[in-house]
Every structure is written in C-alpha cells, then in structure tokens.
A and B are shown apart, each in its own frame.
Chain A
C-alpha cells in the first residue's frame, strides 16, 4: 500500500488523532494487514508516537501485523457453536492446514482465525471461508470444503 493511499484514508477522517482506530481499520480492510511503512506514515501525519499506534494495533483483534493468506478461514467459537462441537471442527482444520488460529501458512494459502459468534447460531457449528458460510459443518466435512482452494 503506497503512501498516497494511506494519506487518502487519513484525510477521510480529517487527520484527527482521535480517529486513529478508524484510520487503521480503513487500512486493514483494504490491505488485509498493517505494513510497518503504513504505520510510520500514520504516525507522522497524525503526530502520534509509533509506540501508541503499535499498542493499538496489537490490542485490537481486527489488526494484523503480518500478511494474510489468500484464503481466510474463520471458525466460529461462539458459545452456541461451542456446545455444538466447534472445538472438534477447529482441531480437524488445524490438523488439515497445519496452522493454529492467528497463523498463516508459509505458502500464504490459508489464514486461520477463530471468531466469536457470526450471528447464525441456527447453523452451528459454522466455518466461514472467504466470507462464505458453511453451516452445520461436521469435522469430517471440513476437508471436502478446503480441498477446493488453491
């Protein structure tokens, strides 16, 4: 992400330091992660110390300081999905991809995240891949879903 684009996002919020989180969210949404250069640019433009930006970037779950894989797997571990066996789904996906929640594999194919309640509890347990919901997913069915991704 180049500096011009970062500047545009900052300008959308009138460059106010109180909008720091909103600005970082803007960058995260567009770029899927927060590169160091972008954070330095934000720090410079908003006159906010980089340390504070890093505090925020590590405090909130939405931010990633490392690049994400081409496909994002979200496993809902909300309470409803939990009592319907989400842990077993998660364990199977971990075995299949070889990564833990929060990690991305070396080929940048998959990133795995757990999320708290996607709001479709009737479908639990739920796995979401690139925004598509796979409901009532049994551990044994996860492989069938994931094999379709390159």
Chain B
C-alpha cells in the first residue's frame, strides 16, 4: 500500500474502497470480542468458514469478525447484512441454517431470533430490541460493523476524515477551541474538561510534548475501554492524532494493560496499518505534521491508572504517584508537558471534529455532554456494554435497557465509579446520570463500571471488598492510604465476621476522614467512598452485623448457617452427593442433616436443592434448630409403597 500524501488521495482511496464494496452483498458479522470468545465465538467462526466453503458460497457471502456488540449476555451474536437480522447465543450447529438463509432474500432463521420477554414477539433487527433501542451508540456503534483488523473497514465508514479535516481545514487553535466548546469531560475518572487540559499543555513551555491514552482500565468490573480498543482501535488512534495536532505533540503513548492481549494485538495491527497508510509518521497527509505512537504494556498495578503514576511507569519505573502541585499537563513524562486522557475520551474527539461542538453539546445535560459507555453487570438480566446519553436516569438504564433484576429478586443498589465510587440506593434511581449528579449522591462517574446488586448482596461486604482491593493495590508510598486502608479493612472484616464492636462505624468514619484529607493521590483520597456511601444509605445493615451478629442479606459466611428444613426435605440425596465437604448426612429414605462441624458454607446444597422442595435455608442471627430425632428422619414414600 503506497502512503497517502494528501486529503484528496485519501478521498480517492475511500471512494475506491466503497465502490469495490456492494452494500447489498450478504455478509455475516460475528461478534469476536473477548466476552463472546469466552462463550465460543471462535468455534462459531470456524464453522461459518467451513459452511460457506461447503455450500459453495465463497463468492456470494462474506464473513466479518467484528468487535464487541455489547449484548454480552446473549453472545455469541451474529448480525446478517443487508437484512440486519440478528441472532443470539449461536452454537456451531446453528451455522448451516444461518449460512443458507443469509444468501436468500429476506432469509431468516426464526427460532434464533430475539424474543421479547413481555410480548413474546420475535424481533428481527438489533435496533428494535429493548436492550439496544434506548441506547445512543455514537462511540461504540461502529464496533458491530467493522473488522478491527482492517483499516479499509474503518475508512469505509468515514474513518480518518476527522483527522483529514483537522489537518487540512483547521489550525491547531481551532481544533482546541472546538474541543473546549464541546465541553468534553474526561471519561476515565474525575470528568475534567479535556479542552482545558489540552490548552494547559499547549501553552506550557517546552518543545517535546506527549499525548497519552489511558487504557489501564483498572476498575475491577468494567470493560468498556477494552471493547473499544478491541473493536475499533482506529477511532482511538484518530482521536489521539487530532489531540496531538492541537497540542503540538509529536509523540504519543498508549498505556494498555497486558491482561488485554486481544486489545494489544488489534492496537498493534492498527498502528502498523496507520503507519503504512500514512496517518502516522512524517508529513501526515501532506500537512507537515509529524506524529508517532508507542504502545506500552502495563504490568498490572491499579495505581498505574492514576495520571502521575502512569507517567512514572512509562519512564520504566515502579508506578508510584507523585504530588501534583504542578499538573502533569505541564510536567509529566520526563518532566515534559503531557496530556493523558481515557480511551473513551479520545474516541469522542473524531466525532466532535467531524460533526462539530454544537452537535455534541445538544446531547446530554447542561454540565455533562455527549454519551457515556457503561458496563452494566452484576445482578442484571441483560449484562453488557451500554452507551447512553448523559441525563438518562439510572432506572432507565437498569430496568429498560438492562431488563431489571433476574430471578424475581429485589433491586438493592447500583455501584458506580469503581473502587473510588459508591453505592446508590433504590430511592435515588431516578437520578439523572451525569458527572456532578453522581458525585452529589456520594458516588462518581468514574470510568463507567455499573454493578447492579440485589437483595442477596451484603452492603458491608461490598465495602469490605473494595477496601480490600484498594489495600492490596495501595502503592505504599503515603501513610494515610497504606496504613489507614489496612486498618479500615481490619475493622470491616471484623464486622462481616461477626466480631464487630460498638464504635466501629465511628472509627471507620475517622479513618476515612484522614485518608480523604491526607493521601497523596486520588486512590487514597477516594478510597473511603465505598464505605461512606454504604454507611450513608445502608447504616442498618452495619448495625445488624455489629449488634445482632446478623447479615440481613444472608451473605456473610461467618454469620450464616445452612440448615435443611426437615418438613420440606424429600431425602433426594442431591445435596448430599454434591456437597464437596461431605457434610450432609442422610440416605434415600432419611431426611438430610447438615453437619455444621464439617460444613464449609460453600452454598452448594442451597443451590442444588430442587426449587420445588426448597428445603435448604440460610439462617443468620438466630440459633440453628437442633437436629430432629433419628426415628423421625425416616420418610416413607407413598407412591412407591405399592
């Protein structure tokens, strides 16, 4: 491929790609993101290839392996073009039918269509499915239609036209102004206005400046950035290039965690192609602008997602944060001005340049513009990635898009913002999603983790979980975080184990205050949030643990016992056979009893007891009924007596 040297050459190339493609030609797109891969999309892809071969359709039917479509609950996902009929939970044995229907006009495999849970109607198109209908997929939308390993696919949907526009029709100042005007706020953490950060770097003294993509994605319940990098890496690169042009930077870094091998692979391919085509290197599109990008793999440390720690890591050292009385935008990597933005923030930039700040600011609320991608996970019917306009309510996300809580359970809380965020209770579900709104509720936007919790989730345990995570991830440089979190963890663990004391809540509040005020970086200053928000909304749960040694959610292992209800037990032996600890005593005609000495409380008996019996109970805060007398344990089965 010869380098593209000017905007007109780019447009010629694009027209060439488009005219070679027939939009009416049948094409099967298959989600090949990490989540679908785990559910077997690799095998499905292989069977599509063999089947196309077998049915002799190589000339008539294309297969495109795309990135994540978002509806991970129902993966692997196939969308057939041009009909746009979509199928879910595909297995290799479904493929012959899908392939043979794909080449027929209006061919559809009825049985694999999505069935609306309320109306029982079959839905053909992705956009009609409730999960997708209420989304606004500006950033994530292209994931489903392009092969991330093909730059031509990206060019075919208008890729790199924003870069072309910026370089050929706008001055760096104009690009900066447009981004400032769009009020694009950072999607990775605090929601700082990107334009302001860029301006600070642009105005900072120094010839060497850096632009950096933060793809560390440390939030342990979120995978939006990963899906973007896996599914549409060029959109992030294009954003970074435009940012570099605006700031006057010639070198970019992508800090991506090595735990994301597919993201690293697709990024590396994308970079190579971008260089070949002339979007990177010297004199890009004949504009005299030079730019290169280096991929730095992160070696696994949550704190490295923090801006100054990330920059230290880029220098090849242990990623410890440093005080930021001088912003990293002025003194960052090797003391040079460095702009760090999140993956999603960068991916928004080409949209803003292409469609303008005025278009962008029409979406969202007064202070939070555009859309946000969330990873909607936990106790939710439709697990997946959702992109919604700012200002949508939590209720709409969880119940309209997410389909509510599975298994007739009651919603309890939704956790946003990752380990620095907080839990939001049911009475605040009508809260409009935005940076400031979430902060006011004691949580934060963070990078977009949204973990739904039901009545079975213990809020004290959730706080303990996050503090445990953060204690482990604290880099150890400053005392309030290193020691304070360790003490908080001790107290919280005690509470969940039934060893809590009066005054523990007060103690935790004091420790929180010190960590908040005195920690060096935001890991420490925001670490108390999971505790503070849960104690604010669920104080009664803390009190039940401390005063009554009871876990209201029946979740804390030390505070519950499993018990077989002798009136309900049918002596079916299922729990006895499945118990990994051999703790269930009984046989086919003998009501089962759990030996509390042997029981490891893994919950297997509770899960396997047939729901029509429902004989295994969890008990908390009260004593276990004594085992019934031996002679009463024998049951006689009426049906079998004859």
Contacts and interface: CB of A to CB of B under 8 A. Distances in A.
A25 B299 CA distance: 7
A61 to B, nearest CB: 3
Contacts of A95: 580-581, 600
Contacts of A88: 557, 601-603
Nearest to A29: B258
Q: A29, A82, A138: which has the most chain B beta carbons within 10 Å?
A: A82
Main secondary structure of the interface of A (DSSP, over half): helix
A79 interface: yes
B507 interface: no
A121 interface: yes
A10 interface: no
Contacts of A78: 220-221
Interface stretch (A1-9, A15-23, A103-111): A15-23
A80 B451 contact: yes
B150 interface: no
Contact of B316 (A18, A77, A139): A18
A75 interface: no
Contact of B35 (A52, A55, A123): A123
Contacts of B219: 79, 117
A45 B415 CA distance: 47
A102 B316 CA distance: 24
A79 B603 contact: no
A96 B604 CA distance: 15
A83 B453 contact: yes
A138 B608 CA distance: 10
Contacts of A60: 298-301, 318-319
Interface stretch (B112-120, B140-148, B324-332, B376-384): B376-384
A111 to B, nearest CB: 15
B462 interface: yes
Given A60-B299, A83-B379, A123 B469 contact: no
A91 B602 contact: yes
Given A59-B319, A62-B300, A119 B580 contact: no
A63 B465 CA distance: 24
A6 to B, nearest CB: 17
A123 B38 contact: yes
Contacts of A123: 35, 38-39
A69 to B, nearest CB: 19
Contacts of B195: none
A83 B378 contact: yes
Interface string A37-71: 00000000000000010011001111100000000
List 4 A-B pairs, minimum CB-CB distance, nearest first. Answer: A79-B221, A61-B300, A60-B299, A116-B220
Interface of B: 34-35, 38-39, 72-73, 75, 218-223, 226-227, 258-260, 296-302, 313-319, 375, 377-379, 383-384, 415, 418, 449, 451, 453, 457, 462, 465-466, 469, 475, 557, 578-581, 600-604, 607-608
Given A79-B449, A116-B469, A117-B219, 18 more contacts: A19-B316, A21-B313, A55-B318, A59-B319, A59-B475, A60-B298, A62-B299, A80-B451, A96-B580, A116-B218, A116-B220, A120-B35, A122-B75, A122-B377, A139-B604, A140-B580, A140-B604, A140-B608
